[in-house]
Structure 1
Amino acid sequence: MDPKISLCMIVKDEEDWLEQCLKSVEPLVSEIIIVDTGSTDRSLEIAKTFDAKIFFFKWNDDFSAARNYSLRQASGDWIFVLDADEAIAASDLALLREKVKAKNVCYEFLQRHYTADHRLSDFKPCQGDYPDLERNYPGFFESNLCRLFPNHRGIEYRGRIHELVEQSIKEIPDLRIERLDVRIHHYGHTPEVKRKKTKADLYSPLGESKTREQPDDWKAYFELGVEHNCNGRRKEAAEAFKKSLNLNPNYLDTWVNYGYVLCETSQYDEAIEALKRAIKIKADCDQAYCNLGVVFMRQGDFARAVDVFIRAININPQYVNAFCNLGISLARLGRYAEAANAYYRALEVMPQCVSAKADLGALYLVSGQLEEAEKFLISASKDDPEQSG
């Protein structure tokens, strides 16, 4: 008899995405657990069409508490955790069925976050690998997390926000975590979701609470810094990243992000030092070189900026943001043909790149090539990322 899988979800006002999520895994799971934390839309109506078992949880500013309540309702041999704005490709379901036949193993997935913002760290352009799930989004970035694990083993979520089960799994001697080549397709960073949801109002205060509760946890400060940065609070982000580095000076991403926010607050010398620290940790850190190039641009040193953008591109030939910034720097140096080539290279990697089209159109406008300028400027307007999806 095949092992039974319980899908466990916490939900609030997810009518736009819930049906897609449940349809994607309906053939895989034997039980759907929905824990609602206060929906006022059609979420529960949609859940009922999938014969979901619905439970209610009074929100208490603690994602782990809600998650763990959902786990306690599961009766299956395995627990699979998804958010409503996530989905699994149909082509991956057979592999998951096979994997749950194993013993004493938990599974880590790649979470593919779709986005229209090529400036985000680790942005990669979509290549048509999952045409139905990629939709019209130009790219994504990825992270790892454990979402499939045996039931009745004492596994629990920890952390008021950015909650994870990994630490609890590590404390159970006979369990191990294995990485799967399976993507969880996540739409929480897409323009339409960001327009509708105001996560900052919830996430930032919870992040602050987490650092107070776990003052020696470098990752809590890192997560808070990312949250502040994403919401334009650069000064607060810099303070959080600095505290994180005081606790753990060896985490590459903290130095990269710290360098970025220092640049955004015009602390250029400090930004350069932070980014050099990142490069010292990882000599081929393309993001550190790209951020360093932006610092040089802000200082008006476009020749040095060109050098480091080229370095970043040599490391990562699909680095759209580096190509765009290289184009800007070359244009400022009067090297217009090379600048145009940089923008064309960006468009080869990401045909919907609005900033490359707009800057290329402006470049043609300045040089008097009005027909070409009009073509790219009109195309940029049509491909505005706010209209993606």
Structure 2
Amino acid sequence: MPTGLGQAKRCMAAPSTTICAQGACPRGLPEEKMTTIHGSDEMTSKALMPTLSVCMIVKDEEKLLGQCLDSVTGVADEIIIVDTGSTDRTVEIARQYTDKIFFHQWQDSFSEARNHSLSYATCDWILQIDADEELFQEDIPVLRGALAAAQNVPDIDAILVALLSDLPGKITSKHYFPRIHRRGRAHYEGIVHNQLVYQGKDMIAEIRFRHYGYALSPEEMARKAQRSEALLLRQIAEDPDNTFAWRNLLRIYRNRGDYDKVVERGQWVIDHPRATAEQRHSVSSDMMVALTKMARYEEAEDVGLRALKELPDDLDIIYYLGMLHMASGQLDKAVSRLKQFLSVKRAESRVGPRFSLLTMDHYASEAAAWNNIGQCDQRQGRAAEAAEAYRHAIESDPDQEGFYTNLAFALLQMGEVAQAESVLQKAAGRGVATAAAFKMLGDTLYLQHRLQESEAAYRRAIDFDQTDTDAHLGLGRALGGMGRLSDAADSLAKALELNPASRIAWLAWVKVHHRLGDRHETVSGLDRLLALGGLGCQENLTLAAISISLEAYDRAAAFLETYLQEKPEDVGALANLATCYAKMGRYAAALEGYRAVLHSDPENASVRRNLRALQRRLVRETAVQ
């Protein structure tokens, strides 16, 4: 989740008039104050267009800088880059786009650096963008139209745009805030998560920017959070009632798993008179997540319900209510909330993007909502309903592997093996299948006795993840089914190297080595399974039979004893156990076992013969003594 985003601070006390692009206007705005911008040729004519400076501050941004600059070259009249100490190829890349590159020592303040970049701008308007962002190319006409419209309204000093942030967990958040402002009429404040302060009014345009700065590796995110935390703590030391800084700091704590800190300070921020609606929304979300993780579900729900009193259609709060109900096992309530989330999203889609100053982490989580509904249904044994929900999830986002594997699993529960295979083949055909989907595809093909195809699927899974125990196990089983026993043994050895406690792998190991005639490895596997325990009835019976064939009667007896605890009525197993006792020299136990069988099955001829033979043997041994 974002660690925090900047916001606008207006110098004027009076509410600002808002002009909306593409119909994305706040609800309740008087109709006469609304202007819709469509980016027509007349409005965007170069002769009539105001000029635009793109201003950036950068440091070690070689990974994404080129992508960012490519996205704005079509609208920028000048590009100004202030480098604060790069040691990689950042400056080299920047020189391919502009000669207005300046060097400035980092002062531990984003605002100071941003304001320095603004000082070099010469155009009518300034667009501030970061290297880990890019402008949607299809929104360039909207941007030009917004500039043309704002240029003709002298008291408009800022344009709010839509920032779509890619978050960990394949989540997309959305937030509107000012990124374009009239030159000389605005500046930044705040050493971190800086805020644009402008004198006049603002307008809103559905100009979208994609932000990649939160979809980083765990190590990169940790470094970024550590830097931001230090700066936020400085701000709070200077102003302990800075609810904006607290809001961003609590998000860092939440992302790091410091849930006690979130709960300890969260309610104070929510109740603070300086807290804005956006801050209350964000901190309420953080508190709900923290309390849910701490299994304090009633408190989490209370926070959410109070937040909904202020903002009844708050997507994040509704979504987190659904998630806390899932975590607490209230699955029907979870489904109800998640469907409410989807209903709010559908209502918005009918009228176009809805303007909001809230940062919506789950703005684009329709697919995730459907997936969670499917999991709720599946946990309640409603496989058909779960499958339908997973289909909706795939329809909403066809590039998430987990949706396909969840659907396939539901179909397998329904006995629809061929349909499950078809779903997984679609994932593979779309290019979203990795180890999980190919492993499950191998399973479905194995169930259909299509062993060569199954082998190929398992090998694809292993190509994606050499450490996937189940893929190596599946491959071993498929190879064993084709009679390639030595290759099967190698695959099973790899599975057991990865997970020495895998009962299923040891069971397959025993079967393969028994077929190879390798008594030593077979008995070694039997001993391992006895030590692990936890086998099912049929597995114990199978292993007992293998043990008897090897004349490993002590091991056979152990498996049969465990089996009979669950199936005491199985007189055949009891007879085999008695025979094992006899072979082990435990004659009293053998006699007791045979007599118990005959008590249940008096006509059992083989047991009668075994009993008579045992009795004669005991008579001979007694006579010898």
Q: Equivalent of 2:101, from 48, 54, 62?
A: 54
Q: Equivalent of 1:266, from 275, 282, 295?
A: 295
The 2-side partners of 1:51 and 1:286 are apart by 41
The 1-side partners of 2:300 and 2:317 are apart by 10
Q: Say whether the 8 Å CA contact 1:214–1:220 is kept in structure 2.
A: no
Q: Say whether the 8 Å CA contact 1:78–1:149 is kept in structure 2.
A: yes
Aligned to 1:95: 145
Pairing 1:152–2:152 present: no
> Bigger CA drift: 64-73 or 49-58?
49-58
Please list every run of 5 or more consecutive structure 1 residues that lacks an aligned counterpart in the other structure.
121-139
The 2-side partners of 1:215 and 1:286 are apart by 30
Pairing 1:297–2:326 present: yes
Q: Equivalent of 1:34, from 69, 81, 85?
A: 81
- List aligned pairs for 1:111-126, cutoff 5 A: 111-115=163-167, 117=169, 120=171
Q: Say whether the 8 Å CA contact 2:143–2:205 is kept in structure 1.
A: no
Q: Say whether the 8 Å CA contact 1:303–1:333 is kept in structure 2.
A: no
| Cα distance per residue 1:244-277 (max 9 Å; x no partner) | 2131576334323321221012211211111111
The percent identity for this pair of structures is: 30
Pairing 1:275–2:316 present: no
Pairing 1:108–2:108 present: no
Pairing 1:214–2:235 present: no
Displacement of 1:31 in angstroms is 2.5
SS in structure 2 of the partner of residue 316 of structure 1: helix
Tell me the matched-pair count: 358
- List aligned pairs for 1:120-139, cutoff 5 A: 120=171
- List aligned pairs for 1:11-30, cutoff 5 A: 11-30=58-77
The 2-side partners of 1:384 and 1:281 are apart by 43
Displacement of 1:33 in angstroms is 1.6
Q: Say whether the 8 Å CA contact 2:334–2:376 is kept in structure 1.
A: yes
Please list every run of 5 or more consecutive structure 2 residues that lacks an aligned counterpart in the other structure.
1-46, 347-364, 436-463, 465-625
Q: Equivalent of 2:226, from 169, 191, 201?
A: 201
Displacement of 1:45 in angstroms is 0.7
Q: Say whether the 8 Å CA contact 2:159–2:205 is kept in structure 1.
A: yes
The 1-side partners of 2:98 and 2:339 are apart by 55
The 2-side partners of 1:209 and 1:285 are apart by 31
Displacement of 1:321 in angstroms is 2.4
TM-score w.r.t. the length of structure 2 is: 0.52
Displacement of 1:100 in angstroms is 5.8
Counterparts in 2 of 1:286 and 1:20: CA distance versus 1, 3 Å: closer
Counterparts in 2 of 1:365 and 1:202: CA distance versus 1, 3 Å: farther
The 2-side partners of 1:241 and 1:376 are apart by 44
Aligned to 1:347: 394
Pairing 1:229–2:276 present: no
TM-score w.r.t. the length of structure 1 is: 0.81
The 1-side partners of 2:58 and 2:367 are apart by 35
The 1-side partners of 2:333 and 2:164 are apart by 34
**What letter corresponds to residue 94 of structure 1 in structure 2?**
R
Alpha carbon RMSD of aligned pairs, Å?
Answer: 2.9
Q: Say whether the 8 Å CA contact 1:354–1:384 is kept in structure 2.
A: yes
Aligned to 2:193: 162
SS in structure 1 of the partner of residue 189 of structure 2: coil
| Cα distance per residue 1:210-261 (max 9 Å; x no partner) | 3333321222211222222233333333334333213157633432332122
The 1-side partners of 2:113 and 2:87 are apart by 18
Aligned to 2:442: none
**What letter corresponds to residue 182 of structure 2 in structure 1?**
P
Displacement of 1:81 in angstroms is 0.9
- Which protein is bigger by CA-based radius of gyration? 2
Pairing 1:324–2:349 present: no
Higher RCO (CA 8 Å, separation ≥ 6 residues): 1
Displacement of 1:359 in angstroms is 2.1
Pairing 1:315–2:366 present: no
Q: Equivalent of 2:174, from 142, 155, 175?
A: 142
The 2-side partners of 1:307 and 1:183 are apart by 32
> Bigger CA drift: 340-349 or 216-225?
216-225
SS in structure 1 of the partner of residue 60 of structure 2: coil
The 2-side partners of 1:383 and 1:214 are apart by 50
Displacement of 1:384 in angstroms is 6.1
Aligned to 2:536: none
Q: Say whether the 8 Å CA contact 1:28–1:97 is kept in structure 2.
A: no
> Bigger CA drift: 261-270 or 198-207?
198-207
| Cα distance per residue 1:32-61 (max 9 Å; x no partner) | 221112212111011112233222222232
| Cα distance per residue 1:271-324 (max 9 Å; x no partner) | 111111122223333433332232222222223323333333333347222222
Q: Say whether the 8 Å CA contact 1:3–1:100 is kept in structure 2.
A: no
